[in-house]
Chains A and B, each alone.
Chain A
Amino acid sequence: MAEDTKQPGSPEPTQPETSDSDKTATPPPSAIPPAGELAGADAEKAAMVEQAKSRVAAVKENLSTSPEAGTPKPPVKKKDEGPKPTDASGHPLVKKLKTKFGDAIGNATEFIGQLSVSVSRERIVEVCDYLKSDQKQPFNYLSDLTCVHFPDRNAAPFDIVYNLYSIPANERVRLKVETDEATEVDSVTAVWPAANWLEREVYDLFGIHFRNHPDLRRLLLPPDWEGYPLRKDVALEFVENEWTKKHLPEMSDVQMEQLHQRRAYGLEILSVPQERLMRDIFRGGKEVMPKDK
């Protein structure tokens, strides 16, 4: 009947669009391959799978037959150790000092071209005076005077270190004097006036007393400060003490909170990852608890 209603000039009626599901459910008869073609496609796929399997088997066989397989990797080569101090008793300057002062000169070591000589505490001023007034290479410049604390050395836990420089000869030498807290060390301010403040600094931070010093008092810390902060038994980080309680204004709750926040932030950015993880867990628990209550 539709053909009867069709007008000669009217356009061809379009076929109603079928959905995808309709297409898959009932494919058009032309889309279905004949049985023979289907079998051919399956055979092709099967052949491809077989090829892939054979490739994998070949790779596995290669891995198992190669000489490197199964053998452990060679250990990672450690970096060569750095330079170590060597004995410098044969150094001309050490020989000269030993000839002059004998047993007052102890061990001499050389480390990457730096000569260190151990000197007895009693004769340090004599040795310094001799080195300064030497005609050939006068050590006329006291580059630095400092101290090192070795808490494990019970008899003499401190090393006073004198770094000397000879400007005319362009030579350096380091003298070391072992001492303890109770024994005074002779001041070398008479030899090099520059030692004045350096010895005051050592006294201030390590508590070493210098005999014959013209003005031995604290240099950096307040006069009524207790303790010596560069000793190993004092922590690096600032700790409230009697002096701060007495002289500094008390912090308010808000300031304390701000301080704790800054410290927490510092911990956050500087700590190792494992600690950071543990701290997160701890904080997480702390945050949850008030809500639970």
Chain B
Amino acid sequence: MTPKEIATHYDAKVFDSPEAAKVAGFVITETHEPRNVWNKASAANAIVLKLVNKRASGEADEIGLIIEAWRVTGCYKPHPSEEPAA
């Protein structure tokens, strides 16, 4: 599966840049810079699985994947109760 298909499978939002994710209120997690497309899919899968656990535990409201040509980054929207007070 491609990173986009993986994101669709796990009901994660897809962004094309970290700025777009930040604007949408998402918190950036880990970034992988894989050297080929197979490793890119694996990296996306690894990131999304960790985010799925975060969503299952209630820490994240929504999860997302920032897919760039040379990089994959995870992001999530914190649950309102988890967000630190400003």
Contacts from A to B (Cβ < 8 Å) = 151, 232-237, 239, 263, 266-267, 270-272, 275, 278-279, 282
Contact = CB atoms under 8 A, between A and B. Distances in A.
A233 B34 CA distance: 15
26 contacts: A151-B49, A232-B45, A232-B46, A233-B45, A233-B46, A233-B50, A234-B46, A235-B34, A235-B39, A235-B42, A235-B43, A236-B38, A237-B32, A237-B34, A237-B39, A237-B42, A237-B43, A239-B32, A266-B35, A266-B36, A267-B70, A275-B37, A275-B70, A279-B70, A282-B69, A282-B70
B49 A232 contact: yes
Interface residues of B, number: 17
Contacts of A234: 46
A239 B46 CA distance: 12
B5 interface: no
Nearest to A281: B69
Given A151-B49, A234-B46, A279 B37 contact: no
B82 interface: no
Contacts of A267: 35-36, 70
Contact of B39 (A236, A279, A282): A236
A266 B70 CA distance: 11
Report which residue of B36, B39, B43 has the largest number of chain A beta carbons within 10 angstroms of its beta carbon.
B36
B27 to A, nearest CB: 19
A270 B35 contact: yes
Contacts of A282: 69-70
Contacts of B33: 263
Interface of B is mostly: helix
Contacts of A266: 35-36
Given A232-B49, A267-B36, 17 more contacts: A232-B45, A233-B50, A235-B34, A235-B39, A235-B47, A236-B38, A236-B39, A237-B34, A237-B39, A239-B32, A266-B35, A266-B36, A267-B35, A270-B36, A270-B37, A275-B69, A278-B69
B32 A279 contact: no
The 3 closest A-B pairs by CB, nearest first: A236-B42, A270-B36, A266-B35
Interface in B1-53: 32-39, 42-43, 45-47, 49-50
Contacts of A239: 32
Contacts of A279: 69-70
Given A267-B35, A271-B36, A275-B37, A235 B70 contact: no
Contacts of A275: 37, 69-70
Nearest to B72: A235
Nearest to B30: A239
A267 B45 CA distance: 19
Contacts of A151: 49
Contact of A271 (B37, B43, B45): B37
A267 B68 CA distance: 13
Contacts of B42: 235-237
Contacts of B37: 270-272, 275
A200 B39 CA distance: 26
Contacts of B49: 151, 232-233
A266 B39 CA distance: 12
Contacts of A271: 36-37, 69
Nearest to B45: A232
